[in-house]
Amino acid sequence: MLKKWILILVLFCISGLYAQEIETPYKSKKIRVTQDTLTIDNVSINKAFFKILDKAGNEIDSTYYTVDYQKGKLHFRNNFQSNDTLTVRYLKFPEYLTKKYTIYDPSRVVSNGNGQQLYTIKREPVNNFKPFDGLNTSGSITRGITIGNNQNTVLNSNLDLQITGKISDKVSLRASIQDSNIPLQEGGYSQKLDEFDQIFIELFSDKWNVRAGDLFLENRQSRFLNFNKKVQGLSTHFTFGDTGGKTDVFAAGALVRGQYTRSTFVGQEGNQGPYKLKGPNGELYVLVISGSERVYVNGILLKRGESNDYIIDYNAGEIRFTSLFPITSEMRINIEYQYTDRNYTRYVAYGGVTHERD
């Protein structure tokens, strides 16, 4: 009798475990409405059965929601809100309908992208840049012979070479070599001057530049120590920062070509010139450095040129006013300029820092 009861108990336990392993296709899930769209299941669900129950077990009207059965998503309409936990009951398709079937094991399949990386030959980028390939040169060289009945034979030569272009991706070059044995300067009959015997070479980029040779130092941005000088030497300029705050650092050192002086006199009624420029010791013959003059009449700065206020002969040291600027006896004329005396060498150094902020 005892064996019979033991056999019945064992069969009952086995049948209970087997019953627990059987999964029903009807699913129930608790959700909270935290957003308009919720995911019910990762696979498609059957549209034959779908219900949403509130906390009390009452079914919610289907006008408040729509169901995307193919993607297993629930969409609430009309800003549906509920603070309670809802119960979703739906019918799930059999697993053999929603299961993914593959011929090969996906974990052992190599994608096409990985295969291309295995057999791809990496080619190093070729730098086609050639140094000094972007330089443009232009100019001329002349030779001549001068013969006269009252002079010896003289060989004349003239060189004019201009170089511009890039020596790298970020560095550019600009150079000018002008050499002439003519001991004269160009006349000051125009506002822009092209000098003889001008030599300079300049390297520059977006943030810096270095120039060696003939320089023109000028300070006109400050109220103190305004000056301009034509010199021969080296100048540098560096820019730091961006548009929000920019700092400029500049410095120069050079040999001074001329000596600074000033000539002051009162104009003569109806006399447009020429007026002689004298040295600081009353010298009548001075060689003025071209482009170095600043002419003021009654404190007003004038412009050079035949179509402006005055013209100047740098070699003779004479200035003449045009008919566009009549001279009267009530005009006080003040002329600042540089002249060459060739007594001894002078040096000049100039530098500064400026900062701008928006």
The confidence score (pLDDT) of residue 278 equals: 84
Confidence of residue 11 (pLDDT cuts 50, 70, 90): low
DSSP code for 26: E
Partnered with residue 350 across adjacent β-strands are: 252
Q: Which fold has domain 24-109?
A: Immunoglobulin-like (2.60.40)
Q: Which of 230, 290, 292, 218 lies closest to 256, judged by CA?
A: 230
CA–chain centroid gap for 98, Å, is: 58
Per-residue pLDDT tens over the stretch 93-136 = 888 788 888 887 777 776 766 555 555 667 777 666 666 667 78
- Using CA atoms of 96, 100, 106, 109 in order, give the dihedral in degrees to the nearest 10: 120
Per-residue pLDDT tens over the stretch 23-39 = 678 888 888 888 888 88
- Using CA atoms of 96, 101, 103, 106 in order, give the dihedral in degrees to the nearest 10: -140
Q: Which of 43-52, 188-197, 324-333 has the highest mean pLDDT?
A: 324-333
Using the Cα atoms of residue 15, residue 21, residue 25 and residue 28 in order, give the sign of their dihedral. positive
Whole-number Cα distances in Å, 321 to 278, 279, 284, 304, 332: 17, 20, 19, 9, 14
Pinpoint the residues of the chain covered by CATH 2.60.40: 24-109
Which strands form 86-92's sheet, in the order they lie side by side?
26-31, 86-92, 45-53
Of 130 and 61, the one with more pLDDT: 61
Per-residue pLDDT tens over the stretch 311-330 = 888 888 889 998 889 999 89
How much is the pTM? 0.44
Q: Which of 292, 291, 297 lies closest to 309, judged by CA?
A: 297
